[in-house]
Amino acid sequence: MREPIRQYALELGFDVCRFTSAAPPESAPRFQSWLADGRNGEMGYLQRNAEKRADPQRVLPGAATIVTLATSYATASTCECKIPGPASAQLEGPDSKLNYQHSQGRNRPAGIVARYARFTDYHHVLGDRLKDLVKYMCRIGGEETRSLWYVDTGPFLERDIAQRAGLGFVGKHTNLINRRLGNWFFIAEIISTLRLNADLPEKNRCGSCTRCITACPTAAITAPFQLDARRCISYLTIELKGAIPVELRAAIGNRIFGCDDCLAVCPWNRFAQEGNLMMQHARPELAEPDLLDLLALDDQGFQRRFAGTPILRTRRRGLRRNVCVALGNVGAVATLSALEQAARDPDPLIGEHARWAIEQIQKRTKETSSAS
């Protein structure tokens, strides 16, 4: 029954469909050690469902198979390997340099949104298709078949399971790499009582390459295959709810939602192809949003602008915090008025980050004046 399921998955828009057993992932002890070291930061949900992540039988008793699926979100501009130049104290990744130069050209500073978030929320896009695939599996497997689907929400060590299924291999940046899709794809799973033969696992193909480690602006990749989430810009701008550590703010540059630097430099991206399904849900206006416009959004404006996108996850409060940091790194004197207003925000989180941004701009202005 594997091939009919695989074929239907491709017809639904998934780019790759692979199968593995529902046995515990071999990486479970390493995951437990990672949690014990506190490298998950404030992501307490990882600790709360750690037992399920270590044993798929706790997710669905009697499970026999996990179907793993990949959906590309690559665009023409991402289907290449980009190697950053010399590191800068404020802007280190290839995307940040390009976006910063563009924003300065129009005299309005722009932010950077991670590429996966420049679409309608993938949870919704893929979730609808996973429902159809589960129904199909139940029809061909019989009424006793039980299946559950997840899109980046299930209590799985999904990258390790996907590697065991041959969907890709976990790179030194700890993300999954597919030889045909590069780094630019979403992962989804269906865990099922349907018993299907497993595909062969993928082996690691990083070789001696360390570009992702070098590219990380905050040194969050502490060693090959080891990530300290507490330093990761994706964590700092999305998951972290409180203040961003002062010592990491400059390295964030003008990234306001996530970071792609370790993904963008991977040589496997040269083989990536544009994703047909996600291109239908592209939101190009999210790629380089105007930072001053974002800072001025009220609650209703935030909800309207980002409805149906992953950016809702950070909420207006988190986004304004991130925008203040970005302006502190790339803003000019003309942005001080907006930041001074933000500094008077009754929320102390916003006020503190706005004041930090003002200090950074004033410091740069003074240094520029002294140099001239």
pLDDT, tens only, 180-218: 999 999 999 999 999 999 999 999 999 999 999 999 999
Answer yes or no: do 300 and 351 share one domain.
Answer: yes
321 and 367 in a common domain:
yes
252 and 359 co-located in one domain: yes
Are 66 and 108 contained in the same domain? Answer: no
| Cα three-residue angle 215-221-226, rounded to 5 degrees | 145
| pTM attached to this predicted model | 0.88
d(CA 252, CA 264): 16
What band does 78 get if pLDDT is binned at 50, 70 and 90? low
Same structural domain, 188 and 302: no
Residue range 336-370, pLDDT digits in tens: 999 999 999 999 999 999 999 999 999 999 887 77
Confidence of residue 270 (pLDDT cuts 50, 70, 90): very high
Asked if pLDDT for residue 85 goes beyond 70, the answer is no
Structural domain total, the chain: 2
**Residue 190: enclosing H or E segment and its boundaries?**
strand 185-192
Assess if residue 197 is contained within a domain: no
Q: Is the pLDDT of residue 92 over 70?
A: no
Does 112 lie in the same domain as 36? no
> What domain range includes position 243?
94-118+229-261+283-371
110 neighbors 102 (Cβ within 8 angstroms): yes
The residue annotated as part of the active site, out of 55, 132, 152, 199, is: 152
152 is a catalytic site residue: yes
- For position 202, what pLDDT does the model report? 96
| Residue 178 and residue 288 in one domain | no
DSSP H or E segment with residue 150: strand 147-150
Residue type, 208: S
CA distance readout (Å), 164 to 22, 26, 82, 168: 11, 9, 28, 8
Banded pLDDT at 372 (limits 50, 70, 90): low
Contact criterion met (CB below 8 Å) for 178 and 168: yes
Within-domain flag for 198: no
pLDDT higher for 209 or 93? 209
pLDDT at residue 80 in the model: 52
Q: Does 150 share its domain with 137?
A: yes
Mean local confidence (pLDDT), 308-322: 96
Please indicate, yes or no, whether residues 177 and 310 belong to a single structural domain of this protein.
Answer: no
With respect to residue 43, please indicate whether it lies within any of the assigned structural domains: yes
Domain annotation covers residue 109: yes
Q: At what angle do helices 348-371 and 315-330 cross, to 10 degrees?
A: 10
| CA triple 89-266-53, angle to 5 deg | 100
Identify the domain boundary among 137, 168, 192: 192
Task: Calculate the average pLDDT of the chain.
Answer: 89
pLDDT for residue 74 is more than 80: yes
